[in-house]
Homo-oligomer: A and B are copies of this chain.
């Protein structure tokens, strides 16, 4: 059994659709450090959360990285969403020639000892808000002609950064179960 350390039950449902083991939510608010590197933030979070669990845990952290803004808002996407909001972020990108951006998700898994991280990335570009679905930056992130807010949830989960990270994590777990020692 795995514990997904998150305050968001929606993420737990999404994880259950991918992972080959039972997943339980551990509603624990671990400290996220300030870093440019999502993987470092997630790895430290997983290590901290292990202390609150009695078995393997994983955490997930994600962000929107706009190329012309040196990766902004990146690891602070949630704070920037709450303060500037998506219209101002779209405005910052509008002033740039290059509007390419990517969503990145990192999953960090800790069995109490080592930490493994798994990455998922989806490429796109920043556009004016479109669509009624999704959450966060979904309305201004266009991938393959549609914003993430224009995709049905299932379709979005299939191409999203978090879906990709979960798929890589699932592969690794399957290998672990076969007792290959986690080589990948």
Contact = CB atoms under 8 A, between A and B. Distances in A.
Interface of A: 31-34, 36, 41, 44, 69-72, 74-76, 79-80, 82-84, 88, 91-92, 95
A44 B69 contact: no
* Copies of this chain present: 2
23 contacts: A31-B33, A31-B34, A31-B44, A32-B33, A32-B34, A33-B33, A33-B34, A34-B75, A36-B79, A69-B84, A70-B82, A70-B83, A70-B84, A71-B83, A72-B79, A72-B80, A72-B83, A72-B84, A74-B79, A74-B83, A88-B92, A91-B95, A92-B92
Contacts of A76: 34, 76, 79
